[in-house]
């Protein structure tokens, strides 16, 4: 049996950084977390040791790992011949179901990752409006495409003024010219948003946002802010685009748009949508979606789009989410867990803010005030988070070094109690290292 260190050395010879996706590195471990399998709320390391999973595939495994309904769906797709690049009755049935559940959905298209679906949504928004500029919020993440991978986590020294941030490219290799097409605005700042619209509104195709900004931890919109986004879009003929890759089916069957009662023109649904299988959906109003080929002139195509294995998995996942009591149970589990977590933070004396919405949450070490925007979130102390996560992993609970964490519907009270024990230990490690003598 090879150790994680040995596997990492081997993997690094063939995979840059030893990983297939850079976000899978884990600085708390010094190597990626190598798992041998997953089952329900647990992932197992190379030695077969179980860990309560508080990463849950970055939010994709909302049903837990290896859910029987998802397995059955994948088996069914295999029986049907691993159909790929053909339409079936299941594709339109899935689209119809989304149109029943999600307020803005009058039509749907599917693709694999959130990144590619958001990218297609952006092209569609540009085609439908005949405009090119995008407004996005600082600290909001919309995947890795060259068009949108700006200012999701900029270093503060290079982020520009707080009320009019400059577009910060999050990767080398992004064409410089694309930065001219994007305007970055601080989240939850009505004046800054109104000023951006006053300046650019008539050339903007879309305002894109995470309606709950999990990618900066867990930042909710202030009351009235999403409504202001809708009103400004209406005033300037701009399409309101919700990136619900993380919020879809997590905060309710109708997503964040259902929770807030504000309907965008376009939305992307991802992660939990496929129950752990790689599928996401672009949904929107019929006149906008009609711009897609072959009805319209905006391209959206690909050999592997809406692979049947993923379509059947998504149908199965939606069936599970629609079971009576699904979200009530998540809410009840969450309240108990978050109450316990808050109590542990208080008792430890560690400076740490916990913010949550549904079964996902953010932690801000070194921050005590409510966090409403990226600049506040960026004030957290990463070194404290690393000590916390290292302590939790040592105690059998897996946290990834990420802005957001969460549990799944497969987690029981007992699993979350087990997590809380490790969290108490991890917090004690942080206190001993950072708070003693203060
Ligand atoms: C809000 C949001 N949008 C888009 C993406 C990109 O999705 P994917 O990782 O499936 O490409 C993510 C992924 O973390 C996300 O959180």
Residue 248 and residue 144 share a domain: yes
Q: How many domains does the chain have?
A: 2
Angle subtended at Cα 266 by Cα 170 and Cα 218, rounded to the nearest 5 degrees:
50
Does the pLDDT value for residue 58 go beyond 70?
A: yes
Residue 376 and residue 359 share a domain: yes
Residue 171 and residue 156 share a domain: yes
Does ligand 1 lie within 6 Å of residue 118's CB atom? Answer: yes
3-class DSSP state of 182: strand
The string of DSSP codes covering 268-296 is EE-GGGGTTSS-EEEEE-HHHHTTBTTTS
Mean pLDDT, range 253-281, rounded to an integer: 98
Tens-digit pLDDT profile for residues 103-143: 999 999 999 999 999 999 999 999 999 999 999 999 999 99
Q: Which of 301, 240, 303, 243 is nearest to 271 (CA)?
A: 243
Residue 281 and residue 139 share a domain: yes
The boundaries of the domain holding residue 35 are 4-66+324-435
Distance CA 91, CA 108 (A): 10
Domain boundary among 291, 321, 351: 321
Q: Is residue 359 within 8 Å of 398, Cβ to Cβ?
A: no
Domain boundary among 321, 338, 372: 321
Expressed in angstroms and rounded, the spacing between residue 428 Cα and the centre of ligand 1 is 32
Tens-digit pLDDT profile for residues 201-241: 999 999 999 999 999 999 999 999 999 999 999 999 999 99
Report the 10 Å Cβ neighbour count for 173: 6
Q: Give, for 244, the enclosing helix (H) or strand (E).
A: strand 239-244
Expressed in angstroms and rounded, the spacing between residue 118 Cα and the centre of ligand 1 is 9
Name the residue at shortest CA distance from atom 7 of ligand 1: 114
Which sign does the torsion angle of CA 294, 298, 303, 305 carry? negative
Does ligand 1 lie within 6 Å of residue 58's CB atom? Answer: yes
Distance CA 116, CA 112 (A): 7
Expressed in angstroms and rounded, the spacing between residue 108 Cα and the centre of ligand 1 is 18
> Pairing state of beta strands 182-185 and 204-209?
unpaired
Residue 239 and residue 222 share a domain: yes
Does the pLDDT value for residue 437 go beyond 70?
A: no
Look-up: residue for tokens 């206190």?
Answer: 431
Expressed in angstroms and rounded, the spacing between residue 144 Cα and the centre of ligand 1 is 8
Largest pairwise CA distance in the chain: 68
Domain boundary among 300, 321, 342: 321
pLDDT more than 90, % of the chain: 98
Q: Which of 245, 234, 164, 185 is nearest to 210 (CA)?
A: 245
Residue 257 and residue 126 share a domain: yes
**CB within 8 A of 267, min separation 6: which ones?**
102, 104, 105, 241, 242, 243, 244, 248, 255, 257, 282, 283, 284
Q: Is residue 196 within 8 Å of 232, Cβ to Cβ?
A: no
The string of DSSP codes covering 357-384 is ETTEEEEEET--SPP-SHHHHTTS-HHH
Half-sphere exposure of 425 (CA within 13 A, CB side): 14
Tens-digit pLDDT profile for residues 296-327: 999 999 999 999 999 999 999 999 999 999 99
Length of the chain: 438
Look up residue 91 and give its DSSP letter: H
Pick the atom of ligand 1 nearest to 112's CA: 10
Mean pLDDT, all residues of the chain: 97
Residue 369 and residue 289 share a domain: no
Residue 317 and residue 252 share a domain: yes
What CATH number has the domain bearing residue 416? 3.90.1150.10
Pick the atom of ligand 1 nearest to 116's CA: 11
Residue 74 and residue 93 share a domain: yes
- pLDDT, position 435: 81
**CB within 8 A of 161, min separation 6: which ones?**
none
Residue 388 and residue 314 share a domain: no
What CATH number has the domain bearing residue 214? 3.40.640.10
Distance from the Cα of residue 43 to its chain's centroid: 20
Residue 278 and residue 196 share a domain: yes
Rounded to the nearest 5°, which phi and psi values hold at 310? -80, -35
Residue 296 and residue 328 share a domain: no
- pLDDT, position 1: 78
Please, what is the end-to-end C-alpha distance for the chain in angstroms? 45
Q: Give, for 403, the enclosing helix (H) or strand (E).
A: none
């Amino acid at each position: 049996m090879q150790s994680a260190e040995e596997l990492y050395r081997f993997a690094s010879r063939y995979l840059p950084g030893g990983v297939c996706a850079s976000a899978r590195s884990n600085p708390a471990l010094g190597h990626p977390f190598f798992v041998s399998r997953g089952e329900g709320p647990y992932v197992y390391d190379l030695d077969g040791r179980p860990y309560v999973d508080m990463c849950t595939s970055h939010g994709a495994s909302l049903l837990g790992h290896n859910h029987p309904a998802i397995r059955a769906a994948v088996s069914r797709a295999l029986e049907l011949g691993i159909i790929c690049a053909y339409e079936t009755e299941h594709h339109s049935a899935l689209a119809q179901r989304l149109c029943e559940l999600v307020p803005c959905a009058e039509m749907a298209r599917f693709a694999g990752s959130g990144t590619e679906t958001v990218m297609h949504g952006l092209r569609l928004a540009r085609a439908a409006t005949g405009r090119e500029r995008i407004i996005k919020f600082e600290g909001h993440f919309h995947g890795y495409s060259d068009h949108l991978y700006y200012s999701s986590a900029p270093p503060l020294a290079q982020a520009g003024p707080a009320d009019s941030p400059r577009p910060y490219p999050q990767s080398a290799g992004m064409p410089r010219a694309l930065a001219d097409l994007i305007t970055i605005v601080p989240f939850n700042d009505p004046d800054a948003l109104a000023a951006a619209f006053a300046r650019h509104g008539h050339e903007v195709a879309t305002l894109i946002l995470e309606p709950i900004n999990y990618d900066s931890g867990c930042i909710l919109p202030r009351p009235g802010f999403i409504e202001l986004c809708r009103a400004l879009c209406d005033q300037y003929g701009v399409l309101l685009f919700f990136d619900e890759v993380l919020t879809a089916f997590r905060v309710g069957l109708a997503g964040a748009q259902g929770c807030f009662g504000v309907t965008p023109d376009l939305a992307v649904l991802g992660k939990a949508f496929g129950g752990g299988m790689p599928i996401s959906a672009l949904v929107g109003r019929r006149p906008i979606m009609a711009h897609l080929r072959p009805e319209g002139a905006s391209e959206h195509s690909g050999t592997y789009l809406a692979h049947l294995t993923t379509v059947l998995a998504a149908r199965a996942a939606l069936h599970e989410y629609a079971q009576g009591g699904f979200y009530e149970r998540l809410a009840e589990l969450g309240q108990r867990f978050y109450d316990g977590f808050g109590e542990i933070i208080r008792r430890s004396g560690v400076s740490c803010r916990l913010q949550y919405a549904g079964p996902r949450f953010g932690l801000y070490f070194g921050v005590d005030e409510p966090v409403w925007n990226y600049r506040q979130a960026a004030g957290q102390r990463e070194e404290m988070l690393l000590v916390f996560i290292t302590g939790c992993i040592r105690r059998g609970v897996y946290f990834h070094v990420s802005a957001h964490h969460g549990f799944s519907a497969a987690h029981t009270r007992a699993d979350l109690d087990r997590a809380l024990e490790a969290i108490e230990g991890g917090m004690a490690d942080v206190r001993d290292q950072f708070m003693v003598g203060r």
